[in-house]
Amino acid sequence: MIPVLEAVPNFSAGRDRPLLDRLIRAAEDRGADVLDASADADHNRAVITFVGPPDVVEESAVALAELAVEAIDLREHRGVHPRIGALDVLPLVPLVGLTMDEARASARRVGERLAAEVGLPVYFYGESSEPPGRRLAELRRGGFESLARGFPEGRRPDLLPQGWSHAGAHPSAGAVCVGARPLLLAWNVEVEGLSRDALEELARSLREKSGGFPGLRALGFVRGPQALMQISMNFEDVARRSPFEVFEAVETRVVEWGGRIVETEVVGLIPDRLLLEAGADRLTLRGPGMDRVLEHRLLNHVTDRVAREVDLLERSVLPHRSVLPAEVSDAVNRLVRALSNRRFRDLEP
């Protein structure tokens, strides 16, 4: 099976489209496949989603960090979203053919390079921290300004560049949080007709730490000159938890308090489960489930056919490996190793 690692770097620059374009090109130039990119002026934040083999994703992440440090000055940054770095958050997500331990190893390697090569203080969070499970909220408390003059008690970075001479974070680029985690849904629900106090109370009631949904982080924002009201949420491990239940809870409480939902924005890519559950609910669909989704079944069918063809190729080539040109052996080796999580025998004589 082809190993696919996802990176979802968050940058503190949501008002600079040329910079976003440069970041996208930097990832693509190193072989990553950029699946999505978005920017928000009120949050003053940009998010890019890209995938590829672990080595490609790691190299792309370092290149984007270098560009962010060069282009973003947090001393001039204003936005409603909490942040401590120019490259604020760098989560790595194992999608296909990879374990969480392998994603964690990638996160640790990237963190070491960001400290040694880019010159950034590094915090590890999620599955890459020691012990695993450190939350972003505890690292970003007080924002960049809390780290500018010195690291607060108990918040010294996990890694510092060699010979670090500053009392606190990088003077203009702050620090970076590098993590490994499961799939996460980052989404914003825009509402109207609520008071600011009601908005904040709604966000508070949804959070895990307030007895709400496990794995849910929620903040209430009033955005821009039009005073748009928004519940901004991160929902962890959507493969195991129902994001549509969260939406229904938000909808119910907003209506009860005399407001209405205007729209829902998903940051990055939309998980299949959210759309499936929403569609099944609104359509009163009989027998919903991923096994009845055409595209899901088609992908499994194609994947199984490719795996069988690769197995046939391996069995056909191995008896003749002693007479094969080296470049053919190398090409077959690369193919079978990329398309299977089994350990294949070396084809070279």
Residue 344: the pLDDT is: 36
Considering the candidates 43, 77, 81, 170, report the single residue annotated as catalytic. 81
Residue 304: the pLDDT is: 78
Q: What is the mean pLDDT of the segment spanning 323-330?
A: 82
Decide: helix, strand or coil at residue 225.
Answer: coil
Residue 48, pLDDT above cutoff 90: yes
Order of strands, sheet of 216-223, starting from the edge strand that comes earlier in the sequence:
216-223, 228-236, 184-192, 260-267
> Over the stretch 228-277, which tens digit does the pLDDT of each residue have?
899 999 998 787 788 999 999 999 999 999 999 999 999 888 888 788 88
pLDDT band at 280 (very low <50, low <70, confident <90, very high): confident
Q: What is the mean pLDDT of the segment spanning 335-340?
A: 68
Decide: helix, strand or coil at residue 134.
Answer: strand
Question: Is 81 in the active site?
Answer: yes
Q: Where are the beta strands (DSSP E) in the chain?
A: 4-7, 10-11, 33-40, 45-52, 87-96, 122-126, 176-180, 184-192, 216-223, 228-236, 260-267
Paired strand residues for 217: 234
Residue 297: the pLDDT is: 78
Are the C-beta atoms of 169 and 210 separated by less than 8 Å?
no
Asked if the bond preceding 82 is cis, omega within 30° of 0, the reply is: no
pLDDT band at 198 (very low <50, low <70, confident <90, very high): very high
Look at the block and give the residue holding tokens 């690769």.
Answer: 310
Largest Cα–Cα distance in the chain? Answer: 77
Residues with Cβ within 8 Å of 204's Cβ and at least 6 positions away in sequence, in order, are 210, 218, 220
Q: What is the mean pLDDT of the segment spanning 123-127?
A: 97
> Over the stretch 54-80, which tens digit does the pLDDT of each residue have?
999 999 999 999 999 999 999 999 998
Question: What's the rounded Cα separation, in Å, for the pair 284 and 345?
Answer: 51
Query: Poorest-confidence range of 12-21, 51-60, 302-311?
Result: 302-311
pTM of the model: 0.82
Residue 331: the pLDDT is: 82
DSSP state of 270: P
